[in-house]
Amino acid sequence: MNVATVLHTHILGNELLRWGVALLVALGVYFALRIIRGIVRSRLTAIAERTRIAFDDVLVETLGKTHTFTFVAAAIYCGSLALAFEGRTHELLARGFVLVLLLQLALWANHALRAVLERYRSDESLGSGRRTGLAAIGFVGRLVLFTLVFLLVMENLGIHVNTLLAGLGISSLAVALALQNILGDLFASLSIVFDKPFEIGDFIIVDPHLGTVEHVGLRTTRVRSLSGEQLVFPNNDLIKARIRNYKRMAERRVVFAFGVLYSTPPETVERIPGMVREIIEGQEKVRFDRAHFKEFGASALNFEVVYWVLDPDYTLYMDIQQAINLALMRAFGPLGVEFAFPTHTVYLETGEETPAGPVGSSTWAAPAEAGGEGAGG
């Protein structure tokens, strides 16, 4: 048997010579792709070393995730083009090659997404709330990616996606209704991360509840209350609630009132606002606003005072208010000014029409209006 006879031997409908050509084409494509990948990767690596942007580094890492099986699939498909097959063999080989390409694209996209999120997550200045948001973005991104790849694979296998989606429509609706609360909380966490109504460490008030934010998760946010227990809020409820964030308060406006006896001389009443102003301006981290003789009360001459504490710390505000109160007591003593308290005078009619003295008394004090206990503290 001579060489010509061997080369013209038919195997699966193709001469041995054509099989040899197909093998050479496949080997050429395989090694050419590997060489091209190496050249491109080395060039990109050189560029990445000269720049500070993260995009080229991610591109180099992603290119390195090219699977050898992808090169093998490409080589087999290109080599098969040199052969003649009956039936749908070429079509099946083409679909197999496209399937491998789709899987490789999914691996590239998944790695690129992970690499980008890891680079953001490695930033030490990134808060835990942002980290939670990145985790949510990664979950949603992968869900969309693999759903898209799954649909493309089904279409490549000859399954009509529209028919498949129509058949899954009722089931998908039932699943969506069952998961609507979970999905609502998930997207609410993304809203919290990007809109930033509060962050870790902020002191917030949500309806009657108040405390410091400890953790922002995919579904819930945890707040440590002043009394020590942990409050857990669904994220979906938080974005619908009215939130008061005291951490972002730059200054604290304080309004307080006091009253003096009606027996205080008008000249002394006129001096009191100036005395109050002098006392407040003597405090540190305070800006005086106003002090007025406001009104004739039921049992006192009432004064109203407004000032600003130039720091949101609640303890500092209480220290300043205490110092002001003590200074007022010391200043009023030498002037003979007394703080008023509610009194009720009862007159008893007798034959001699002698009025009785006042009966009964109770202590009176006006609260300062500067937020509840712990607000901002």
207: CATH? 2.30.30.60
From 146, 161, 182, the end of a domain falls on 182
- Tell me the C-alpha distance between 20 and 185, whole Å: 61
Whole-number CA gyration radius for the chain: 40
- Co-location of 15 and 159 in the same domain: yes
- Tell me the C-alpha distance between 207 and 219, whole Å: 20
- Co-location of 217 and 277 in the same domain: no
CB burial of residue 105 (10 Å; 0-12, 13-18, 19+): middle
- Co-location of 106 and 230 in the same domain: no
For residue 163, the model assigns a pLDDT of 62
How many C-beta neighbours within 10 Å does residue 100 have?
Answer: 19
What total of structural domains would you count in the chain? Answer: 3
For residue 43, the model assigns a pLDDT of 84
Enumerate residue ranges in the chain where pLDDT < 50.
354, 356-367, 372-374
CB-CB contact of 267 with 328 (8 Å) = no
For residue 116, the model assigns a pLDDT of 80
CB-CB contact of 309 with 252 (8 Å) = yes
- Tell me the C-alpha distance between 180 and 169, whole Å: 16
For residue 273, the model assigns a pLDDT of 96
For residue 153, the model assigns a pLDDT of 80
- Tell me the C-alpha distance between 152 and 104, whole Å: 13
- Co-location of 111 and 208 in the same domain: no
- Tell me the C-alpha distance between 334 and 330, whole Å: 8
- Co-location of 238 and 262 in the same domain: no
For residue 128, the model assigns a pLDDT of 56
For residue 10, the model assigns a pLDDT of 63
* Structural domain containing residue 15: 3-182
For residue 165, the model assigns a pLDDT of 59
**Which sign, positive or negative, has the C-alpha torsion 185, 189, 191, 197?**
positive
- Co-location of 156 and 214 in the same domain: no
What are the tokens at 154?
Answer: 């089904």
For residue 168, the model assigns a pLDDT of 55
